[in-house]
């Protein structure tokens, strides 16, 4: 009798040992997929590159005292050519389910080509403003967070299910015949659903990374446009300041001539009108400069940033552009268009994922326990699968096919939008180029020669004082218009270098997806 009891206990221990080993395999074993999401060997890189801290405030520079001006207006400024180096943006790599690398982000934009013009000494540079904006612009930070969301969802939809452990007791009221059972339950995913989940969210993450890169271009382009606008306004204020002193001396000279009996009241009035017009132009230019600086501060994400004189150059010449070839190159390299193609890839991956959804997962349960009624151990094994009879996921498959069509049309819309925006930029570029060419080669030299001849004629007594004022006013206006053309050309070049992406503070696209594919994977419905 004791031997039989010992054999019974030995049988129970052996049964529990087999159950424990099998349960461990259920808990730690892999699913029925060929392979699950591969973990990147390299540590994750931050989504937004750390930027060097730009100086918070540029040193203030006082304007040097102007030399004493003669009666005629000072000629045009001398020009010195400089080169600006382009910065390099951070390369972000994305690994898909098969370990293939997505293309690295595009090269950063370059500053517009500069002509032969003196660089303003001391002040805030374009690179400093760009660094501040890329670090603090809220739209960039929002898209960076959106990209992190997409990365989190990608990780979530590829995780395997948790096992279920439990305890079951039967016939507890019937003493001596009660049964006790411990079990482990596990769902095995079929059809490579987890791998396909990864592909869908991987394409989503790739699209969001491209959207983030596009937003960086938008901010840079907007900063560049405002920078060159402010630079042009600074240059115009310098010209206005110079001509204002000439106009003030003209009023004094007209009064002296009238007191000497050589001039008339008309000469005084005309000289005062000219001075008032110059003063009005200065006030309007200062107001425009103040407004542009507030735009720069808002785009930079630092609204309280104090004004600092800018340092840079304006373009004075440009080449002929092949607009058709440029349009093709911009479309090919644009991060905006690349994001649209990533969304097409996501749509195809989603279709493949929905097609395998009807393949049922398998749920297995293994239990081991003891039956005190027979004084022996027992094992329990259950396997179940849902039958795809009523729900074959046809609706989701149709929706996935429609999403492919929608994503393709969206890519076509973006392509046409890029070409349309480039057409507008080509008008700005070509008109500015024509103006700069005509002003630098014909109008400005003619205005300067006309002023010189008017001075000579006045000294010879051939023309009156009013003609001198008109010649000076013409020379002044042509210089201001020339600077306007330079700013327009710089802005157009900035848009070209930035893939015609503008709107650094516009609402951004949150297309980070969600974790619903995981719920669909394990609901089987």
Would you call 207 helix, strand, or coil by DSSP?
helix
CB proximity list for 314: less than 8 A, separation 6 or greater: 114, 115, 117, 228, 231, 232, 235, 483, 486, 487, 490
Question: What is the structure's pLDDT at 525?
Answer: 64
**How large is the average pLDDT for residues 413-436?**
97
Domains (ranges, CATH) in the chain? Answer: 122-522 (1.20.1600.10)
Q: For residues 322 and 422, what is the distance between their CA atoms, to the nearest angstrom?
A: 12
pLDDT > 90? residue 119 = no
**How large is the average pLDDT for residues 67-80?**
33
CB 465 within 8 A of CB 458: yes
Question: What is the structure's pLDDT at 111?
Answer: 30
Q: For residues 157 and 189, what is the distance between their CA atoms, to the nearest angstrom?
A: 12
Of the ranges 62-66, 211-215, 512-516, which one carries the lowest mean pLDDT score?
62-66
Q: Tokens standing for 249? A: 């001396």
CB 310 within 8 A of CB 237: no
Of the ranges 96-100, 264-268, 462-466, which one carries the lowest mean pLDDT score?
96-100
CB 316 within 8 A of CB 437: no
User: What share of the chain has pLDDT > 90, as a percent?
Assistant: 64
Instruction: Name the pTM for this structure.
Output: 0.75
pLDDT > 90? residue 86 = no
Q: For residues 422 and 191, what is the distance between their CA atoms, to the nearest angstrom?
A: 46
Question: What is the structure's pLDDT at 318?
Answer: 82
Q: Tokens standing for 449? A: 């020669």
What are the E-state strand segments in 223-375?
362-371
């Amino acid at each position: 009798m004791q031997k039989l009891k010992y054999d019974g206990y030995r049988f129970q221990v052996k049964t529990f040992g087999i159950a424990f080993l099998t349960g461990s395999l259920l808990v730690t074993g892999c699913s029925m997929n060929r392979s699950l999401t591969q973990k990147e060997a390299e540590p994750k890189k931050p989504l937004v590159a750390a930027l060097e801290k730009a100086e918070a405030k540029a040193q203030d520079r006082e304007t040097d005292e102007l030399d004493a001006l003669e009666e005629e207006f000072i000629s045009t400024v001398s020009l010195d050519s400089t080169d600006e180096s382009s910065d390099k943006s951070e390369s972000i790599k994305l690994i898909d389910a098969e370990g293939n690398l997505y293309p690295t982000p595009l090269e950063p934009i370059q500053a517009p080509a500069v002509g032969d013009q003196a660089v303003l000494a001391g002040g805030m540079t374009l690179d400093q403003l760009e660094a501040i904006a890329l670090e603090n612009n809220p739209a960039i930070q929002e898209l960076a967070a959106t990209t992190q969301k997409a990365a989190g969802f990608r990780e979530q939809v590829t995780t395997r299910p948790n096992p279920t452990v439990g305890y079951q007791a039967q016939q507890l009221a019937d003493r001596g015949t009660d049964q006790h059972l411990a079990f482990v339950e596990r769902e095995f995913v079929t059809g490579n659903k987890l791998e396909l989940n990864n592909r869908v969210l991987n394409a989503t993450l790739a699209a969001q990374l491209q959207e983030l890169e596009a937003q960086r271009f938008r901010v840079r382009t907007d900063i560049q446009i405002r920078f060159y606008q402010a630079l042009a306004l600074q240059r115009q204020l310098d010209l206005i300041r110079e001509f204002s002193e000439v106009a003030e001396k003209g009023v004094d000279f007209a009064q002296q001539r009238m007191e000497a009996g050589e001039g008339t009241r008309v000469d005084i009035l005309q000289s005062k009108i000219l001075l008032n017009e110059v003063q009005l132009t200065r006030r309007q230019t200062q107001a425009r400069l103040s407004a542009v600086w507030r735009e720069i501060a808002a785009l930079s994400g630092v609204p309280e940033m104090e004004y600092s004189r800018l340092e840079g150059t304006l373009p004075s010449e440009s080449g002929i552009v092949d607009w058709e070839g440029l349009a093709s190159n911009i479309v090919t390299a644009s991060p905006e268009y690349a994001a649209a193609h990533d969304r097409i890839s996501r749509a195809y991956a989603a279709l493949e994922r929905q097609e395998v959804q009807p393949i049922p997962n398998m749920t297995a349960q293994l239990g081991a326990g003891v039956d005190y009624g027979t004084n022996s151990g027992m094992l329990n094994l259950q396997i179940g699968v849902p039958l795809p009879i009523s729900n074959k996921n046809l609706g989701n498959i149709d929706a996935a096919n429609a999403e492919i069509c929608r994503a393709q049309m969206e890519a076509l819309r973006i392509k046409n939008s890029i070409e349309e925006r480039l057409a507008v930029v080509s008008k700005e570029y070509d008109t500015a180029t024509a103006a700069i060419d005509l002003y630098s080669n014909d109008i400005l030299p003619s205005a300067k020669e006309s002023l010189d001849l008017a001075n000579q004629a006045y000294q010879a007594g051939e023309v009156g004082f009013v003609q001198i004022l008109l010649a000076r006013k013409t020379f002044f206006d042509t210089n201001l218009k020339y600077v306007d053309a330079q700013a327009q050309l710089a802005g157009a070049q900035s848009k070209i270098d930035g893939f015609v992406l503008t709107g650094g503070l516009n609402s951004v696209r949150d297309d980070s997806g969600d974790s619903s594919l995981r719920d669909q994977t394990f609901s089987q419905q």
